[in-house]
Every structure is written in structure tokens, then in C-alpha cells.
């Protein structure tokens, strides 16, 4: 048999095989084959929470900053151009240290001229005074001699005429002294007084162009654009400083502000002081001001002699806002709210039942239950 004669038979066998496979498959789909079963859904148990009795403490944690209790605003007493600025924010300075100066070259020249005039007039007055002093000393000696002569005549029993002449000599010597005393150069005195006034005023004007530290303290603020070469106006705050020993803690509560009374106790820690805890007291509640409308932060006082904190340091405050003892409480997850209704769900005889509750203080872990539940009851979470 030739190869070409076998091809039709082979193709027929393949077709038959495919047909048989199709029939077998169809039989499998039909017939007695069962459908795949659907798995029964697994019901997850809801969380439960037990009503406990204990303490519920509501705390507030804040991050605060050490600030000066009182700051001192410093300014120039005259307009002018800044010659020098000797400090930066945070610098510690001693009392009377020069912090900044305006250009005072014109006043310095005026002071030198006034001082020169004063020196000259003081020399003139000194010379005049010296001459007068010599004359007074001479006249005083003459008076002494006349008084001695008068006394001698009285002792010798001289006649009345000689005594009168001697007494007149004494009186004339005394008058001469009075005359010399009154002959001091009054014009020279007036010139010196005038010159001294000019010198003092010029020195005061120069001092008005200088800012000095009024206390031992720290620089807390330098006005914007206040630098050498800048033009400034008199009595506008240029530098602010305060006493680093007189500090307190400034902190802001997240709204709404809690209703706290002055004297509220707090504790605080500082990273620099490691694990130590210190006491603080609320001095000014949040929202009130102490003269600065922009400063509404709460302020806490503390004993800085134990901590030695510096302005700008960060501290971490903790306040106990409420502390309820021996009360019923539930975790917050056991409480539900819907359309203004606050309730819990309990299981009673296999059925779930809603019970309205009255709540009190709430923390992240515990909520006080005022009414509606008893100790030991189990509620079902959502």
C-alpha cells in the first residue's frame, strides 16, 4: 500500500476520537453529576466589654515654652541713624552695657566745644577766686591785728576817745572783709554755670542716642531691619530684654479651651533635666491677656531656682483636669450613638437589647457611666 492511500483513513480515526471525547464530556455535564456546594458563611463574634468600677482620670498634655515673666522695651530718645548694634537675640548682658548707638558725631563736636569753653571760664573764675582769697586772708589778718590793739587799749585803761578810734578800725577791717567776699567775679560764676549746663545737656543728648542695658539680663528681641546704617525714630522699640531668672511657662490648649481656674496644678518635664518632674501652677488661663492682645496663651509659674530653665527651652506639661474615683466605666468602643441617642447593646435571653446610658468624664481608654448599667454587665461592641 502506498503512503498516499493511508491518509483518508487516518483523518477519519482522528475525527471519530474527537467526537467520542465530545460525547463523553456532554455526558459528564448532564447525567447524575452534583453541583459544587456553596460554603456556609462564618459568623464572627462581636467584641464585648464589661462594666468595671475604678478611677477615671482625665489628663491634658501640652508642649510649652519658657518665656520671660516681664520684658523691658528699649528705644532711643532721639531720631537718627544707627551707628552700631552690639548684641544679638539671646545674648546675656550686664547692667549699663551699651547695646546700640546712633551716630552722634555732631553732638561729640558740640560737646568738645562746650567743654573747651567751660574749661576756659573755669580758669578765669579760679584766678579771680584765688586773687580774692588772698585779699580776704590779708584783710582777715588786719582785722585780727585791729582787734588785738583794741583789746590792749581796753586792758591799759585808755581813754574813751582812743577806744572809739580803735573800735572804728576794727569795724572798718570787718567791712573790708565783707566787701572782698562780695567782690568775687559774679559774671565769671554765671559763665561757668551756663557752660556747665550746655555740657550737661549735650552729654544728655548723646546718651539719648545710646541704648544701655537697664539690668543684668538677656536680649529677647531686636526690631526688624534694626541694624547699622538704618534710620530709626525716637521712642520706638528697638531692643527688648528681660531678667532670665524671672521666667514662666507659656502653653496653648487645643480648642475648645478647658475651664480652668487660676491656681490649677500641673507637672512638667524638660529634656535637659531627663526624668525629673517639677510642679507648676496656672497663673493666667488661656484666652486672657496681660497687656499684649496678641498673647493669649496660658501661663504657668514655677520655682526656677530648682530647674534653672532659660528662655526658649521646651517643656512638657501634664494637667489633671478631672479625677473621678470608684465610678462605673466602659471602654469607648462599647458605647454607640445614633441620631442623638447614646446607648449600649446587651444580650438578654439570646436577644440583643439597646439600653440608653448617661455618660460622664471621657478619656481615650475609659468613659464614666452615670446611669443605665450595673457593675459586671457585658455590652456588645459594634
Q: Render pLDDT for 86-111 as a digit per residue (tens, 0 to 9).
A: 999 989 999 999 999 999 999 999 99
Q: Render pLDDT for 252-285 as a digit per residue (tens, 0 to 9).
A: 998 877 888 999 999 999 998 988 999 999 999 9
Peptide bond before residue 270 is cis, with ω within 30 degrees of 0: no
Classified by CATH at the fold level, domain 71-103+209-242 comes out as OB fold (Dihydrolipoamide Acetyltransferase, E2P) (2.40.50)
* Residue 177 contacts residue 133 (beta carbons within 8 Å): no
Q: CATH number of 45-70+247-382: 2.40.30.170, 1.10.3720.10, 2.160.10.10, 3.30.930.10?
A: 2.40.30.170
Q: Render pLDDT for 115-157 as a digit per residue (tens, 0 to 9).
A: 999 999 889 888 887 877 888 888 899 899 989 988 988 888 8
Averaged pLDDT, 28-40: 58
Q: Render pLDDT for 167-221 as a digit per residue (tens, 0 to 9).
A: 998 899 888 888 777 766 778 888 999 999 999 999 999 999 999 999 999 998 9
Q: Which residues pair with 222 in a beta bridge?
A: 239
d(CA 327, CA 368): 7
Q: Render pLDDT for 330-370 as a digit per residue (tens, 0 to 9).
A: 999 999 999 999 999 998 888 899 999 999 999 999 999 99
Q: Where are the domains of the chain?
A: 45-70+247-382, 71-103+209-242, 106-207
pLDDT of residue 219: 93
pLDDT of residue 10: 40
pTM above the 0.85 mark?
no
**Residue with the three cell numbers 464572627:** 44
pLDDT of residue 176: 84
d(CA 239, CA 73): 6
25-29, 30-34, 299-303: segment of lowest average pLDDT: 25-29
Amino acid at each position: 500500500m502506498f503512503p498516499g492511500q493511508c491518509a483518508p483513513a487516518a483523518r477519519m480515526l482522528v475525527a471519530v476520537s474527537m467526537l467520542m471525547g465530545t460525547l463523553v464530556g456532554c455526558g459528564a455535564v448532564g447525567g447524575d453529576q452534583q453541583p459544587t456546594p456553596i460554603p456556609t458563611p462564618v459568623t464572627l463574634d462581636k467584641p464585648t466589654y464589661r462594666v468595671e468600677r475604678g478611677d477615671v482620670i482625665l489628663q491634658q498634655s501640652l508642649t510649652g515654652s519658657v518665656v520671660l515673666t516681664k520684658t523691658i522695651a528699649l528705644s532711643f530718645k532721639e531720631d537718627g541713624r544707627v551707628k552700631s548694634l552690639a548684641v544679638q537675640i539671646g545674648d546675656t548682658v550686664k547692667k549699663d552695657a551699651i547695646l546700640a548707638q546712633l551716630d552722634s558725631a555732631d553732638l561729640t563736636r558740640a560737646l568738645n566745644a562746650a567743654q573747651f569753653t567751660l574749661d576756659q571760664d573755669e580758669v578765669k573764675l579760679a584766678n579771680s577766686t584765688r586773687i580774692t582769697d588772698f585779699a580776704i586772708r590779708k584783710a582777715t589778718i588786719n582785722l585780727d591785728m585791729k582787734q588785738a590793739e583794741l583789746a590792749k587799749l581796753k586792758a591799759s585803761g585808755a581813754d574813751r576817745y582812743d577806744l572809739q578810734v580803735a573800735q572804728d578800725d576794727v569795724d572798718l577791717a570787718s567791712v573790708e572783709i565783707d566787701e572782698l567776699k562780695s567782690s568775687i567775679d559774679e559774671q565769671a560764676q554765671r559763665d561757668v554755670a551756663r557752660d556747665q549746663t550746655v555740657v550737661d545737656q549735650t552729654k544728655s543728648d548723646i546718651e539719648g542716642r545710646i541704648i544701655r542695658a537697664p539690668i543684668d539680663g538677656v536680649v529677647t528681641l531686636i526690631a526688624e531691619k534694626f541694624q547699622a546704617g538704618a534710620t530709626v525714630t525716637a521712642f520706638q522699640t528697638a531692643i527688648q530684654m528681660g531678667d532670665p531668672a524671672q521666667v514662666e511657662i507659656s502653653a496653648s490648649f487645643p480648642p475648645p479651651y478647658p475651664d480652668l481656674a487660676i491656681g490649677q496644678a500641673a507637672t512638667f518635664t524638660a529634656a535637659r533635666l531627663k526624668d525629673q518632674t517639677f510642679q507648676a501652677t496656672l497663673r493666667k488661663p488661656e484666652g486672657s491677656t496681660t497687656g499684649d492682645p496678641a498673647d493669649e496663651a496660658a501661663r504657668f509659674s514655677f520655682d526656677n531656682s530648682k530647674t534653672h530653665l532659660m528662655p526658649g527651652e521646651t517643656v512638657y506639661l501634664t494637667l489633671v483636669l478631672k479625677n473621678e474615683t470608684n465610678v462605673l466605666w466602659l471602654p469607648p468602643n462599647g458605647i454607640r450613638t445614633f441620631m442623638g441617642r447614646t446607648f449600649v447593646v446587651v444580650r438578654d435571653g439570646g436577644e440583643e437589647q439597646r439600653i440608653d446610658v448617661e455618660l460622664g468624664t471621657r478619656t481615650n481608654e475609659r468613659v464614666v457611666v452615670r446611669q443605665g448599667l450595673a457593675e459586671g454587665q457585658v455590652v456588645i461592641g459594634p
